[in-house]
A and B are shown apart, each in its own frame.
Chain A
Amino acid sequence: MGQRHLPQLPSLERVRSIALGPASRKLVRAPAVRGLAFFLWEKRWFFIALAVGAFIMHLPTPEKLSPEGQIVLAMSIVAVILFVTEPVPLPTVALMIIVGEVLLLGIESTDVARSLMSDSVLFIMGSLMLAVAVVKQKLDKRIAYLIVRMTGTGTFNVCMGISFVSGLLASFIGEHTVAAMMLPVAITLISLTSDDPRNVRRLAAVLLFSISYGASVAGIGTPSGGARNAIMIGYWKEFFFDPADPETRKYLVDYVTWMIYAYPVFLMQLPFVTGVLFLTFKPEYRSIARAVVKLRRQIEKEGAMKPADWLTICVFGVILVGWMTLSSDIGLGTVAILGATLFLVLGLVRWQDLNDGVNWGVVWLYAAAISLGIQMKDTGAAHWVATSFLDLLGTVGVDSGIALWTAVSALTTGVTNTMSNGAAVAVLGPITLNMAHAAGESPIVIGFITAISSAFAYLTVIGTPACTIVYSSGYLKTTDFLVVGTRMVVISTLILLFAASVYWPLLGL
């Protein structure tokens, strides 16, 4: 049979549009339907986590740790096991934390409910809504056009352009937004170069990693770059700010202050991204002229910028100015919520789109993780873990200065590669900040090291949202992340330690 006779497989969109009659099924079937053994096997980590938690709770309470602190530690360990192994939908962990705080710690349910909502959580909600709103504006084609006009057709230059633009955008609007917007650009360039993925395997890797790593290194640049940053800002305020003590005002880190410390760290990392990717993958094509020309033609069909495009840019500009000038007074979260409101009021996005595009369970999860973090502080559990860990580090002489910074960075990098970086900061933040306090180090420095290191989740697919999104393209393998990610971790850690020991002291830290 000749190729010209092949029946054409339609796109999924077309398949959906010509669906035959009403047909539907429920997604979730009760696992128990398949039998108790299957249920138990699937949920084994859930039961193991509960058993571990119960075991820890029934151990003799260590000296200097309160019984409540022991319970909080048990809850934290259970939560971490569940975060990593995912035997139940992750928002379930949030619900378990809430119930646990009431039933195991005896906290009033109203107080628990109150501890769930903070400016950090408002910020996470608002920025997720903004992310969906921005992706829905279809500005990606304009951005792609800008990149290929600036970079020309050389593969290295295109990758550099993609990582630079991804980074610049991600530092303000979050890496998930940028990855969702830029993914089609990279896939279009790949598929226009060759239909057979095997012929463009390494080209695909450099293009896709340019997005994910460009965005990941940038997420640390501003507080709005990622939930982890907002969480750390919240912890500094919660743990160290005392309204009666003017000295502690330094722990109220605003948007611009964060940028002054962290943005240069992002900029220092950016040039290394393309270099590391090219050294690792050595793409098959030095030039992708044909693909770039086709992409340009494709995008030119879109015509000139429309009023809605300009309006979107204006709204985002307003939000950005709001974060920079108002966030210290009204909070990052309020500005983000205001931005989402503006998008809705101006009719640039529908509520339904926001509702569908935001995974609200994640908001619950962050809220519960932050609440648990505060309990770790209040019960003394964080202090106990911090001093114990510090004692341990002391035995090998890494309990202060740059050695301690390296240990904190390594610990955070290890944890963030096994779970989302926001969750990693929510769990580790109380511990590392207490370590700083106990070791006589600056909590601001250790806090920055924790938050920035949480972005070094280059090794695994689930490490960062951008990695997960580019992996969903189907062009990458899990081993690719490990190979190139190891080099990125080393470079990023060295740059961070350089900033902490040379740049930040110049700013008075």
Chain B
Amino acid sequence: MSEKTFDIEATGEAEPSGHKDHFSVLVCIDGSDESYRALRYAVRIGSGTDANLTLLYVRPVDQGMRTGGLDLSVARANLLDWGLELPGMKALKKGRDMLIELGWLGADWQEEFRHADVTGDPLGDNMIVYTSEQGRSITLKLMVSPSIAHGILDEGDMGDYDLVILPMPERVTDAGPDFIEPGVAEIVAMEYTGTVLVARALEESHGHLLCVSDNEESIRAARKDAQIASRCACPVYLFSVARNEDEVPKAEAALAKARKAIEEEGIGISGEKVALGDAVEAIIEEGRSYSVIVVSAPTRKKGWRRFFTSSVAFNVLERAYNSVMIAR
């Protein structure tokens, strides 16, 4: 990972949160119910495996203008003097308690505190790392960043995660101070180089709908998600869309190719379907009854290309009613 130590000035934080000999999941916590549903799902994906889990809360750096020129850190420092916790710490603590209830974090795990000074913010980054005897880790990270999107992307780059899960609240108006807005979720999904699951009304046990087309990247993405789905014993369904009758054979070929690739991994397919019509509309409608819609995004498009390229994946992400995974 070339960017692992990007902008890190000293050696203290050189070690990323996720170790690559374990499957690693980053769950972005913002205190919303959706983020805890996402955490529960992450636990399910990691169950029975040696997955590492990082809970990330990003606090955007304060713009003093909003507090009339008095830095918000003065109010925060005053809260700490009273022995009160900051909202981010409270949200992470709730996530930590949930992991204990789910039996993921044991009392015998080693606890380690890490702090990184951040230029321009007095509180900096703070991390608590719990490590099991088997080498599995759970990290709670309170990070400061110019924006929530920057923070998540930076952590994603530093930790090189196999999966990044972030919540997308149904109602933006109900947002709290550091909630992840839909726009932020979309930016992260678009910019992150790995697989991103945007959790929206996430219900477990309804399976993954893997949307495939006739290209290698789509098949590879389907295989990768099938592996993730198999971790939580989630049923996998294949889906392809043909624009018209003439394209049906092509769609069926894509399904066959994907099925073969997935079955080679020893994973069974629970069902498959070809639909006719507009790809985005068909995927959104079909995907409503599944836990997660999985679509592939070939690579991160750079520069002007992204603005001029119509992407089924991002249209589905934007308009779907439920959770969408952008598999890469």
Task: Please indicate whether A and B come from the same complex rather than being unrelated chains.
Answer: yes
- Interface segment out of the listed A34-42, A279-287, A312-320: A34-42
Q: In the complex, what's the smallest C-beta–C-beta distance from B113 to chain A, in angstroms?
A: 5
Q: Which of the 9-residue segments B34-42, B86-94, B218-226, B271-279 touches chain A?
A: B86-94
Whether A187 is near chain B, meaning CB under 8 Å from some CB there, is: yes
Contact of B115 among A7, A9, A19, A468 (CB under 8 A): A19
List the A side residues contacting B69 at CB < 8 Å. Answer: 124, 128, 176, 227, 358-359, 362-363, 366
Q: Report the Cα distance A339→B13, complex, angstroms.
A: 43
Residues A27 and B119 in contact, CB atoms below 8 Å apart: yes
Q: Are B107 and A6 in contact (CB under 8 A)?
A: yes
Task: Point out the residue from A16, A29, A183, A468 that lies within 8 Å of B66, measured CB to CB.
Answer: A468
What is the minimal beta-carbon distance from B247 to any residue of chain A, in angstroms?
31
Q: Which of A24, A34, A177 is the most central at the interface, judged by chain B CB atoms within 10 Å of its CB? A: A24
* Contact A184-B128, Cβ < 8 Å, known A361-B64, A478-B174: no
Q: Does A357 reach chain B (CB closer than 8 Å)?
A: yes
Bound form: Cα–Cα A381–B85 in Å = 49
Q: Is the CB of A140 within 8 A of B130?
A: no
Binds B, one of A99-107, A149-157, A469-477: A469-477
* CB atoms of B307 and A469 under 8 A apart: no
A479 touching B140, Cβ below 8 Å? no
Would you call B70 and A176 a contact (CB within 8 A)? yes
A90 is an interface residue with CB less than 8 A from chain B:
yes
Contact present for A23 and B116 (CB under 8 Å): yes
- For residue B12, CB closer than 8 A to chain A, the reply is yes
Q: Does A179 contact B (CB under 8 A)?
A: yes
Q: Is the CB of B12 within 8 A of A16?
A: no
Decide: A16 and B191 in contact? CB cutoff 8 A. no
Tell me whether A15 and B74 are in contact (CB under 8 A).
no
**Contact of B8 (CB < 8 Å), options: A25, A37, A365:** A25
Indicate whether A21 reaches chain B with its CB closer than 8 angstroms: yes
Determine whether the beta carbon of B126 is less than 8 Å from that of A15.
yes
Instruction: Give residues 128-177 of B contacting A (CB, 8 Å).
Output: 128, 130, 140, 142, 144-147, 150, 153-154, 173-177
**Known A9-B96, A474-B176: A15·B115 in contact at CB below 8 Å:** yes
Nearest B-chain residue to A419, judged by Cβ: B65
Q: Is the CB of A9 within 8 A of B128?
A: yes
- Please determine whether A465 and B70 come into contact, CB atoms closer than 8 angstroms: yes
Q: Does B50 touch A at the CB level, under 8 Å?
A: no
Q: Are A477 and B174 in contact (CB under 8 A)?
A: yes
Q: Hey, which chain B residues are within 8 Å of A15, CB to CB?
A: 113, 115, 126, 128
Cβ A27 vs Cβ B121 within 8 A: yes
**9 extra interchain contacts, Cβ-Cβ under 8 A, other than A20-B113, A362-B64, A469-B75?**
A1-B101, A28-B120, A41-B187, A124-B69, A176-B68, A181-B78, A188-B84, A358-B64, A468-B67
Residues of B within 8 A of A (CB): 6-13, 31, 61-76, 78-87, 89-93, 96-97, 100-101, 103, 105-107, 109, 111-126, 128, 130, 140, 142, 144-147, 150, 153-154, 173-178, 187, 191, 300-307
Closest 9 CB pairs of A and B: A23-B12, A359-B64, A474-B87, A19-B115, A465-B68, A362-B69, A184-B82, A5-B107, A180-B75
